[in-house]
Structure 1
Amino acid sequence: MTVPALPDVEALMDAAWPAPDRTESNGWVLRAASGVTQRANSVWPREPGSDSHAQYALVREARLWYRDRRLPLIFQVFDDPRSTGLNSVLDAEGFTRQSETLVMWRDSGAKQATADSAVPQALVPEPGVEISTEPSPEWLELWWQVDGRGGPAELATARSILAGCPSVYALVRSDGG
């Protein structure tokens, strides 16, 4: 049995929430989207490095970049061996760990086995489930009620983030509509 290669989860997360304002510096990606979401308004240390002096300098640079945008400095850091040194630097600088993200994915060519058969079938939405490749106004309004922060300008930024990559949106209505 061949085990499929794991995707580059960090790169997928970055591509899934594309920030309209981004700068790359020494292996770090600084992203801003008017403060709408943490992921699109965070530093992704794509290459965290191992030199603590360089890491401290990059943290200072990131502080200034986010200060110029009047945004908090947030890091998207994975808790893995290559981030150990950077996590120590961030701990020493007084950063806190919060907003843990669970990353789940499914191969786009995935098939679903039915209860009747072990033969995979193409994935088909259940009746009553609306699937689209763009967020409908109704989907976006519901999502914004749950996850949104801000007014019309922030909603426009959120829409641009959502439409910035290939996506699938599902909408299921309750009996009340």
Structure 2
Amino acid sequence: MEFTIGGRLEIRITPADVGKRVSVRRLLQDGPQGPKFTDTVGVLTSWDNGVLSVTPKSGESVRIVESSLVAGKTVPSAPPRRRGPAASFGELAAVCARAWQPVESEPLGDWLLRAAGGFTRRANSVLPLGDPGVPLDAALARVRQWYAERELPARIQTATGAEGTQEGLCAALEERGWRREVTAQVRIAALAPIGDLAAEVSRVRLSRTAEPAWLSRYQRFETPGPEVPAVLGSGPSVWFATVPGDAGDAAPAAIGRCVVDGRWAGFMAVEVAPEHRRRGLATAVMTALARQAMDEGASASWLQVEAENEGARALYDGMGFSTHHRYHHFRPA
């Protein structure tokens, strides 16, 4: 990371650069063995009273005392991706939302309050794609009230790491005592290479509905309420994949879900029973679903994976998926 001009470290950012992506270096300590520095890259979300706030892709803001800065500069807002289809944040956010719809919703300006009886954070959180139409504190008060009326925790889903994402909102939520519960990566890839994988798809059965056997493998609830099939069945063109278990097994060996929406195919709920893992079943499920999506005209794919799920990330790396942006769920402390 280069900060120098003619061998000198320079600070080339000012409060006027708030809202831009920056790279800064600051002094951590200056001890007997020499100074120690650390670098931060992210969106400059505030610069007040001698303190900077920089929000990186992780979504967790870093506060930096101005006097500790030794170098800083603005950098391109959206580094080029190495692979994958072209997609804007706005397009992808809308596609992801259509693939996992709530049971009830209410607009708040450009925000959308969503609820589904508590089934998954995605269906029970605010989607803030724009201006709420009122000051932020008033919007947050309405959010708390709306979810309290439904006996649900108030959550807001934000995104970071791409052009047009919501680093500023993340920082504003943190300043008001909201904290991240979870971070996930939104990954994208070309669809044809997944459909062309040499996977054993003969055992994969496709259905338009989440049948009881499929639900018995889906590990997101104890007893499914009416909101579960409503959310799972939402989307423009929904497919469920099932790999039957061995003789006598009550639950399938593997399952998956795909929503086809124009050029996009979204993969969700890919799960394999522990005793059937490392047999290529997850790949077979995704390949079968990818071929069905291509038959409907899709050419690009997306999925969401929690940042800490190393096994799933390794699988998706091998299929050509790369991270487009990250999303976070914030909740009041």
* TM-score between both structures, scaled by the size of structure 2: 0.43
> Which of 5-14 and 133-142 deviates more?
5-14
- Indicate the residue corresponding to 1:118 in structure 2: none
SS in 1 for 2:182: coil
- Indicate the residue corresponding to 2:233 in structure 1: 163
Change (3 A) 1:107 1:19: farther
- Indicate the residue corresponding to 1:65 in structure 2: 146
- Indicate the residue corresponding to 1:119 in structure 2: none
Structure with bigger helix share is 1
Change (3 A) 1:101 1:87: same
Instruction: After TM superposition, list the pairs within 5 Å mapping 1:26-65 onto structure 2.
Output: 26-47=109-130, 54-65=135-146
- Indicate the residue corresponding to 2:221 in structure 1: 148
1:175 pairs with one of 226, 229, 246: 246
Any gaps of 5 or more consecutive residues in structure 1? 116-123
- Indicate the residue corresponding to 1:121 in structure 2: none
Could you tell me how far 1:15 is from its partner in structure 2? 0.8
Letter aligned with residue 208 of structure 2: T
1:135 pairs with one of 199, 207, 210: 210
Tell whether the 8 Å contact from 2:85 to 2:188 is kept in structure 1 after alignment. no
> Which of 98-107 and 71-80 deviates more?
98-107
Alignment deviations for residues 10-58 of structure 1 (CA, whole Å, 9 cap, x no partner): 1122111111110111111100011111100000101157x9x822221
> In 2, Cα distance between the equivalents of 1:103 and 1:84?
16
Alignment deviations for residues 154-174 of structure 1 (CA, whole Å, 9 cap, x no partner): 2x2110111122222111133
Could you tell me how far 1:125 is from its partner in structure 2? 6.7
SS in 2 for 1:164: coil
Structure with bigger strand share is 2
Identity %: 28
> In 2, Cα distance between the equivalents of 1:55 and 1:74?
14
Q: Which is greater in Rg? A: 2
SS in 2 for 1:100: strand
> In 2, Cα distance between the equivalents of 1:137 and 1:79?
37
Letter aligned with residue 68 of structure 1: E
Instruction: After TM superposition, list the pairs within 5 Å mapping 1:73-112 onto structure 2.
Output: 73-80=154-161, 82-105=165-188, 110=192, 112=195
> In 1, Cα distance between the equivalents of 2:245 and 2:109?
49
Alignment deviations for residues 60-80 of structure 1 (CA, whole Å, 9 cap, x no partner): 111111111111011110014
> In 2, Cα distance between the equivalents of 1:44 and 1:114?
35
Letter aligned with residue 18 of structure 1: Q
